Amino acid sequence: MNEKPRNKSRLCELCNAERPVMVRPKTSQKICKNCFYRVFETEIHNVIIDNKLFHRGESIGIGASGGKDSTVLAYVMKLLNERYDYGLKLHLISVDEGIRGYRDDSLATVKRNQQQYELPMTIVSYEELYDGWTMDRIVSKIGAKNNCTYCGVFRRQALDRAALSLGIKHILTGHNADDIAETVLMNLLRGDIARLPRSTEITTMSETSPTKRSKPFKYTYEKEIVLYAHYKKLDYFSTECTYSPEAFRGTARALIKQLERLRPSSILDIIYSGEAMKLSTTVQKQLPEQKKCVRCGFISSNDVCKACTLLEGLNNGISGLGIGSNRKARRLKEKQSAENVQAGETA
C-alpha cells in the first residue's frame, strides 16, 4: 500500500522531515528540536571562529553564576571545545557576592554543574576580598539604592582577581544579545556616547588589565538561551536577584522586550547600530586614560580605582563615595574631614 505523503507545511522548515516544536525567536521559522540545537550551537561556533576568540591551548575562565546564561555558556563551551577540538582548558569561576537566599542557592547550582560537566571550579567571595563587606552588609549600610553599582564594580574585579590567581588571562561571560542591546540603548539614552564602542565589542581588553573579556553570546537571543536550557534540561537557577535592578536598566530591558515582540530583528539591529556608530575626535579626546590603581594595582581610569574608592567609602562611613562624579567624591571627602575636625574639637 502506498504511504500518504506527509504534509510539508507541517514539517520543520529546515530539515523538512521532523515535526516543528517551536517558532524560532530570532528568525520566526518553525523548526524541530534537533535543527534548533544545530543552528544554536553552529551560530555560536561561527561567532567564535569569525572573531578568532581563542587560541589553541588557552586557559579560559567561565564566569559562572548558576543562572541560565552562564549555565548554557559552560555547557556549550564544553560541547564545542570537544566537537571542534579547540584545545581549550576551561575553568568555572564563581563570585559569591554574599546575598543570602539568592547567591548561596545559585552557587549550589554551579557546584552541581561542575560535577555534571566535569570542569574545575573556583569560588571567590566579596567577604574575603573586600574587608568582610558582603552585599547583604552593604545594603544594610547604604540601603537598596545604588547597590548594583557596588555589586557590578566588585564583581568585575573579583573575577579578575580569581583569574589572576589561577594564571587565567581570558574570561568569558554569558552576556547575550538582549543584554548588549540594552546597554547600547542605555548609553544612548544617557548620552554616554563614549561608552558605545566598548559596549558592542565582543572582546574587551586593555594594556593595564590582567585579563580580557569575551562574550560568545553577543548575537544569541535570551529567549533562545532559555529554550535551549529547557529542551536540554540543563540544571540552572532562575530566581531574580533579591536586590532588584536599577529602575533605568529595568525600563530599558522592558523596552527591548516590547520592540522584540513587534520586530524580532530589533535586538540585532540595535547592536549593529551601536557597532556602526563612530566616535568623533572630540568625544575620543574625552575618553579616560586606562591606568593601574595606585592601591590595588588593578585597572582604573583614575589614580584610585572605583572598587577601592567604594571600599574606602564603606570602611569610613562615607556613603556615596565612588557613586557619581569625581567632583561629588571630592565634596563628600571634604565634608567628612570637616566633620572629623569638628568631632575632634568637641571631644
Ligand X SMILES: Nc1ncnc2c1ncn2[C@@H]1O[C@H](COP(=O)(O)OP(=O)(O)OP(=O)(O)O)[C@@H](O)[C@H]1O
Nearer to ligand X, 14 or 110 (CB): 110
Give the contact letters, 85-124, x = binds to ligand X (CB under 6 A), - = no.
--------xxx-x---------------------------
DSSP one-letter string for 26-62: TT--EE-HHHHHHHHHHHHHHHHHHTT---TT-EEEE
Stretch that binds ligand X, among 43-51, 59-67, 195-203, 290-298 (CB under 6 A): 59-67
Applying CB under 6 A, among 14, 44, 54, 69 the residue interacting with ligand X is 69
Q: Which is nearer to ligand X, 94 or 146 (CB)?
A: 94
- Alpha carbons 257 and 269: distance in angstroms, whole number: 13
Helix (H) or strand (E) holding 212: strand 212-214
Binding mask 299-328 for ligand X (x = CB under 6 A): ------------------------------
Distance CA 317, CA 314 (A): 5
CB atoms within 10 A of CB 269: 13
Tell me how far, at minimum, the Cβ of 225 lies from ligand X, in Å. Answer: 8
Q: Which residues are annotated as a binding site?
A: 63-65, 69, 95, 174, 179
- Is beta strand 89-96 parallel, antiparallel or unpaired with respect to 59-63? parallel
Q: How far is the CB of 235 from ligand X (least distance, A)?
A: 13
* C-alpha atoms less than 13 angstroms from C-alpha of 296 in its C-beta half-sphere: 22
Residue ranges for the binding site for ATP? Answer: 63-65, 69, 95, 174, 179
Which stretch in 17-25, 51-59, 170-178, 294-302 sits in contact with ligand X by CB under 6 A? 170-178
Cα(255)–Cα(184) distance, integer angstroms: 12
Does 211 participate in binding ligand X (rule CB under 6 A)?
A: no
Per-residue binding string, ligand X, 138-157, x by CB under 6 A, is -----------------x--
Shortest distance in whole angstroms from residue 96 CB to ligand X: 7
The distance of closest approach from Cβ of residue 94 to ligand X in the complex, given in angstroms and rounded to an integer, is 4
Find the binder of ligand X among 24, 26, 30, 68 (CB under 6 A): 68
Q: What is the dihedral of CA 115, 118, 122, 126, to 10 degrees?
A: -50
Q: Is 173 in the site for ligand X (CB under 6 A)?
A: yes
* Gyration radius from the chain CA atoms: 23
Residue 44 binds ligand X (CB under 6 A)? no
Q: What DSSP letter does each residue of 97-135 carry, written as one string? A: ---TTTHHHHHHHHHHHHHHHT--EEEEEHHHHTTT--H
User: 93 forms bridges with which residues in the sheet?
Assistant: 63, 122
Nearest to 134 by CA among 162, 97, 100, 107: 97
- Closest contact distance (angstroms) between CB of 54 and ligand X is 16
65 forms part of the interface with ligand X (CB under 6 A): yes
Should residue 214 be labelled a site residue for ligand X when binding is judged by CB under 6 A? no
Q: Is 67 in the site for ligand X (CB under 6 A)?
A: yes
Q: Interface with ligand X by CB under 6 A: which residues?
A: 63-65, 67-70, 93-95, 97, 155, 173-175
